[in-house]
Chains A and B, each alone.
Chain A
Amino acid sequence: MTHAIEIKNLTHYYSKGTVQQVAAIDNVSLTIEKGELVGIIGHTGSGKSTLISHFNGLLKPDSGQVLVDGVDIHKDKETLRNTRFKVGLCFQYPEYQLFEETVFKDIAFGPKNMKLSDNEVKERVMKAAAFAGVKGEHLNKSPFDLSGGEKRRAAIAGVLAMEPQIVIFDEPAAGLDPKGRKDLVELIANYRRQTGSTVIIVSHSMEDIASMADRVIVMNNASVAMQGTVDEVYSRGDELRSMGLNVPEITEIFSRLRARGIDVPANIYTVADGVEAIKNLTSGRCSE
């Protein structure tokens, strides 16, 4: 079976050919399997955003290859164009890309670029709006009249409407309140459950990643520093800290509890897991 995305020895420079030339991505190789939910973490400037811009061919590698479904996306213009629809990329603060008169038209921008029939465009817009939680009555409003959270949903719908096999979210919850964050995590999980698409999430939030990802890739200094399951990566707290990252607060609390001799598991990465662990502990005591 081919991989959803395969990156081979990818290198990308910024300010190439000048004194300030720096490798934004330095000889990175990795694969992303079909149907997987991969979290990419790394502190600012580690190369995450540059990396994902290669996944749909917005950036061209200075050396190395990007294969989507086993095909080099820079093979020819046609392949590159189709890759844009196959790999949906939802940038940070996607609401800043809204431009149409109505939310409906804005969501339809992607499908229209795919040259679909009017009926099909309409169908996709309705479907994507439902996935992203855009309210029906908002579809005929100007996107600029919506609230911040609603704009974000409309913009996300604009990407989902292309029905990409792979969706990439760059900091999807940036700037949202805790409720908005939670809703968004649910939205993504729900979308993935129903469509079975491959999802890649780039985030600073170790907790959001922990609650969703099958696999975590840690970027540091333009290369992949670690990858593995949430357990494998998050158990290496000291290394993460040395890269300017932090384990989730809840993990920190549990490791301090353990340090005090309280018998709780070490692999707690989300608040929900934490609650379970505490419940187990107390119920054990009660039965004594």
Chain B
Amino acid sequence: MIREITIGQYYPGKSWLHKLDPRMKLILTLAVIVVIFICKNFFSLGVIALTAVLAAAVSKVPAKMILKSLKPIVIILVFTAVLNIFYTAGGDVYFEWWKIQITEKGVNTAIFTMVRIVSLVVISSLLTYTTTPTMLTDGLERILSPLKVFKIKVHTLAMMMTLALRFIPTLIEEIDRIMNAQKARGADLETGSIIQRAKALIPIFIPLMVSSFRRAYELAFAMTCRCYTGGDGRTRMKQMKLALRDFAALAAVVVITGGIIVLNHFFEAVL
């Protein structure tokens, strides 16, 4: 059933990673992602993979959940691995048949790319597993706040994001309700050609639009009634403060980055 889809994949917990300041977490995740792409050999990539595993262990998010985040990319993984194995040539030839050739370099590249993608996904999903969507947008707002200089309304953008996230479950429920109501009137959503199916969505889409606008107006009125005037002069209930652990995490990432640059320098590149 539709209502079982979870949006945002926050996994409640009290781990060290959960407690990190969202701003720091965002910036560090971004930094690690960049570092993943400067890795040139298995040693530096190994450090990243180890970091990902360690971070996952620290977060106490069950391994099952982390594997679940990898599920959508299985096809991409297999596809890139196959392409790399068959289309990269160089080094010892392991296997040869007709025009197909599997070489050392091909296998290495395939493994390298796979580890790289998996680390990338694990690290970025750890961010969403350990940070609530609200915290994320709050953090983003603070990080982007210097853009105010360019007259960009950062607060408004962040508020829009928060509200959008807030309404996703509501709208899912609404779609479920409208779908049931139209099915009860004999709407056929499951059979027919693509065009027929697209047409069958009209009775669902229109009421959904109408009710979204209605909700938006109601919310706008409610916010206005509580004197909401935008971000200027607005204080926060939860102040974000960088703690010792945030600097520790920063230091860890700096050390890892340094290590990787050194490893890149001393060992031969794979790609």
Contact = CB atoms under 8 A, between A and B. Distances in A.
* Chains A and B come from one and the same complex: yes
Interface of A: 15, 53, 56, 58, 81, 84-85, 88-91, 94, 96-99, 109-110, 113-114, 144, 158-159, 162
A110 B181 CA distance: 11
Contact of B185 (A15, A96, A144, A162): A162
Question: By DSSP majority rule, is chain B's interface helix, strand, loop, or mixed?
Answer: helix
Contacts of A144: 210
Interface residues of B, number: 19
A97, A99, A158, most chain B CB atoms within 10 A:
A97
Interface in B152-196: 177-178, 180-188
Interface string B104-138: 00000000000000000000000000000000000
B93 interface: no
Given A94-B181, A109-B182, A158-B185, 6 more contacts: A15-B4, A58-B180, A58-B183, A96-B207, A99-B203, A99-B210
Contacts, number: 58
Contacts of A58: 180, 183-184
Nearest to A90: B184
B169 to A, nearest CB: 14
A91 B207 contact: no
A109 B207 contact: no
Nearest to A114: B186
A94 to B, nearest CB: 7
Contact of B181 (A15, A91, A114): A91
A113 B188 contact: yes
Contact of A91 (B4, B184, B206): B184
B178 A97 contact: yes
Interface in B1-52: 4
Contacts of A159: 184-185
Contacts of A110: 185-186
Given A53-B180, A91-B177, A91-B180, A113 B207 contact: no
Contact of B184 (A15, A88, A96, A114): A88
Contacts of A91: 177, 180-181, 184
B181, B185, B210, most chain A CB atoms within 10 A:
B185
B186 A97 contact: no
A99 B182 CA distance: 10
A74 B54 CA distance: 50
Nearest to A107: B185
Nearest to B178: A97
A158 to B, nearest CB: 6
6 contacts: A15-B4, A97-B178, A110-B185, A113-B188, A158-B185, A159-B184
Contacts of B183: 58, 84
Contacts of B206: 99
Given A15-B4, A97-B207, A98-B207, A113 B177 contact: no
A56 B4 CA distance: 22
A94 B188 CA distance: 19
A85 B178 contact: no
B145 interface: no
A87 to B, nearest CB: 8
Contact of A113 (B4, B181, B185, B204): B185
Contacts of A109: 182, 185-187, 203
A107 to B, nearest CB: 10
A28 B187 CA distance: 28
